Amino acid sequence: MKHTVVTKENFETEALKYERLAVVDFWATWCGPCRMIAAEFDSLPDTDGVKLCKVNVDEQPELADAFRVNAIPTLAFIKGGKMIYRHEGYLKAEQLAKLFEQYR
């Protein structure tokens, strides 16, 4: 699944104003579970109506603070400019695909 790197400069355009489901993955390079979930995302095909946005919490601490990210990976599902679901921790590809279907 392709992803978009998101920063505080483009977060509003790429995630908040995206007309469908934006899944924001808050992660860090040193985080083992973050690398594991990245591999799961990579194994998924692009999903119609779902955009994957990745936020490096070390490079974008303001965004992490705004979403009260205390553990990584944290996934924020955003639709219509609002967070509609949040998950902390690792998920397998099958679990991610089910969540995409449920929330898109």
The full set of domains in the chain, from first to last, is 3-103 (3.40.30.10)
Give catalytic residue positions.
Answer: 31, 34
The CA-based angle 102-60-96, given to 5 degrees, is 20
How many other C-beta atoms are found inside a 10 Å radius of the C-beta of residue 37?
23
pLDDT tens per residue across span 44-87: 999 999 999 999 999 999 999 999 999 999 999 999 999 999 99
* Average pLDDT taken over every residue of the chain: 97
pLDDT tens per residue across span 29-46: 999 999 999 999 999 999
Given this model, what pLDDT does residue 24 score? Answer: 98
What average pLDDT does this structure show over 3-26? Answer: 97
Given this model, what pLDDT does residue 43 score? Answer: 95
Burial class (CB in 10 A: 0-12, 13-18, 19+), 14: middle
Q: Are 56 and 75 in contact (CB under 8 A)?
A: no
Supply the DSSP symbol for 27. Answer: E
Task: Specify the pTM.
Answer: 0.95
Given this model, what pLDDT does residue 98 score? Answer: 97
Region of 49 (left: φ > 0; alpha: ψ -120 to 50; beta: rest) is left
